[in-house]
């Protein structure tokens, strides 16, 4: 296992469940904050822009429930969620409604007046007007990013996995159907390897003379304190996504019980993952606060921001496949919307690593698909 963020930790867990001898390597400390698997919360939802993704979300929930059952810790907090489409939105609402209908997933198509009636916090702003429409999905919720990753690491270790933090992988070398993993501590030969290196994926693949277009961006989420959080708690406020360009999203109060969390999707600059700064981007904070006040009214204080990295493919679809020339090497990449699927990724990767046939459902995520190898196009990220 190369990389022990959310996807790699999930793979370690699901392999250990199978009784496989698992060894994993993480270049930083376990639970580090340099990538994309830290902080309190990520969105989990059934609403997606293709029937294939909607179908997979059912498995995502199921795979997280398995982690809940073994750990006896809550992994999914149901909040309900709304995807908000202003007039002329950059994102086509019909792709969502048709995909949900195709998979017979319950949803409601409601207008801005109904949004304000159900969740009065939106009435304090001026953005959710009557002509704003929304997909309401009652199954939307939150999965805990940092906690979920830690829990899967602990479960994997309890089942016999050996997970090494602060151990960079210097090379992976295919050898006669197996793989040598080279670290500063020596060489470890394994029957198969899973690369779940996220922002460092290109550096690992370059060792095999393989390249795919990837953009690594520095993003941030912000916690906005408020003296009165009435109406913003779980049960009275939904997860929300503003389905336009720029696209924003936010949560009810969760994790940090003094603030409301929100962020801009794909709003950051491209960076080198080893040279990025951890200081908040003041311009992004200001842009987000102005939007949040238009959406939810005044009363929010200066935010506390947490940075993270997005690793984006040309089509913003996942990578989940064996390498064509090296079937003993599987690659997983969540394309900056994968954490909700993390446990499913792990379960699926375990099958690939054990030599099972590639499921038909993985065809959109194949390494050989033409759209993965197209030049980066930012417009493809807004889905």
Residue at 250 is within a domain: yes
Closest CA to 367 of 335, 331, 329: 331
Q: What is the pLDDT of residues 221-275, one digit of tens each?
A: 999 999 999 999 999 999 999 999 999 999 999 999 999 999 999 999 999 999 9
Residue at 143 is within a domain: yes
Confidence (pLDDT) at 45: 98
Task: Give the whole-angstrom CA distance, residue 201 versus residue 325.
Answer: 17
Q: What is the pLDDT of residues 288-333, one digit of tens each?
A: 999 999 999 999 999 999 999 999 999 999 999 999 999 999 999 9
Is 371's pLDDT higher than 80? yes
Is 3's pLDDT higher than 90? yes
The mean pLDDT of the chain is 97
Is 383's pLDDT higher than 80? no
C-beta separation of 257 from 333 below 8 A: no
Confidence (pLDDT) at 379: 83
Mean pLDDT, residues 11-20:
98
Task: Give the whole-angstrom CA distance, residue 66 versus residue 75.
Answer: 9
Residue at 294 is within a domain: yes
Confidence (pLDDT) at 30: 98
Residue at 306 is within a domain: yes
Residue at 146 is within a domain: yes
Instruction: Confirm whether pTM is higher than 0.85.
Output: yes
Decide: helix, strand or coil at residue 91.
coil
Residue at 57 is within a domain: yes
Confidence (pLDDT) at 53: 98
How would residue 192 be classed by pLDDT, with cut points 50, 70 and 90?
Answer: very high
Confidence (pLDDT) at 382: 81
Is 337's pLDDT higher than 90? yes
Residue at 1 is within a domain: no
Task: Give the whole-angstrom CA distance, residue 218 versus residue 307.
Answer: 7
Confidence (pLDDT) at 381: 86
Decide: helix, strand or coil at residue 369.
coil
Number of separate domains in the chain: 1
Alpha helix ranges (H) inside 240-339: 282-296
Mean pLDDT, residues 272-295:
97
Q: What is the pLDDT of residues 129-146, one digit of tens each?
A: 999 999 999 999 999 999
Residue at 376 is within a domain: yes
Q: List the CATH number of the domain containing 332.
A: 3.30.9.10
* Percentage of the chain modeled with pLDDT above 70: 100
Confidence (pLDDT) at 94: 98
How would residue 285 be classed by pLDDT, with cut points 50, 70 and 90?
Answer: very high
Residue located via tokens 């190898």: 373
Is 380's pLDDT higher than 90? no
Mean pLDDT, residues 110-127:
98
Q: Residue 354 sits in which domain range?
A: 6-381
Q: What is the CA radius of gyration of the chain?
A: 21
């Amino acid at each position: 296992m190369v990389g022990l963020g959310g996807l790699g930790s999930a793979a370690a867990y699901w392999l250990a469940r199978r009784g496989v001898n698992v060894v994993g390597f993480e270049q930083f400390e376990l639970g580090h904050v340099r990538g994309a698997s830290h902080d309190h919360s990520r969105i989990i939802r059934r609403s997606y822009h293709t029937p294939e993704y909607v179908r997979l979300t059912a498995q995502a929930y199921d795979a997280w429930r398995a982690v809940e059952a073994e750990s006896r810790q809550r992994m999914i907090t149901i909040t309900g969620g709304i995807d908000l489409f202003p007039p002329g939105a950059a994102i086509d609402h019909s792709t969502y409604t048709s995909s949900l209908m195709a998979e017979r997933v319950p949803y409601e198509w409601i207008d801005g007046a109904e949004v304000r009636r159900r969740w009065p916090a939106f009435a304090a702003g001026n953005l959710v007007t009557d002509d704003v429409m929304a997909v309401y999905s009652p199954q939307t919720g939150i999965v805990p990013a940092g906690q979920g990753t830690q829990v899967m690491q602990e479960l994997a270790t309890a089942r016999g996995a050996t997970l090494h933090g602060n151990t960079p992988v210097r090379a992976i070398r295919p050898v006669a159907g197996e793989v040598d993993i080279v670290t500063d501590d020596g060489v470890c030969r394994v029957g198969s390897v899973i690369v779940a290196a996220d922002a460092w994926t290109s550096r690992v693949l370059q060792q095999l003379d393989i390249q795919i277009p990837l953009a690594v961006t520095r993003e941030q989420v912000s916690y906005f304190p408020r003296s009165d959080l009435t109406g913003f708690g779980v049960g009275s406020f939904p997860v929300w996504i503003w389905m336009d360009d720029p696209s924003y999203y936010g949560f009810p109060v969760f994790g940090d019980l003094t603030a409301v969390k929100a962020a801009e999707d794909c709003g950051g600059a491209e960076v080198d993952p080893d040279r990025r700064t951890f200081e908040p981007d003041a311009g992004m904070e200001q842009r987000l606060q102005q939007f949040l006040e238009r959406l939810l009214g005044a009363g929010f204080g200066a935010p506390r921001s947490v940075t993270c990295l997005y690793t984006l493919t040309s089509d913003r679809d996942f990578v989940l496949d064996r390498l064509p020339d090296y079937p003993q090497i599987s690659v997983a990449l969540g394309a900056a919307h994968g954490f909700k699927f993390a446990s499913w990724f792990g379960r699926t990767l375990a099958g690939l690593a054990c030599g099972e046939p590639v499921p038909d459902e993985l065809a959109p995520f194949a390494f050989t698909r033409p759209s993965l190898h197209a030049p980066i196009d930012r417009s493809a990220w807004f889905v």
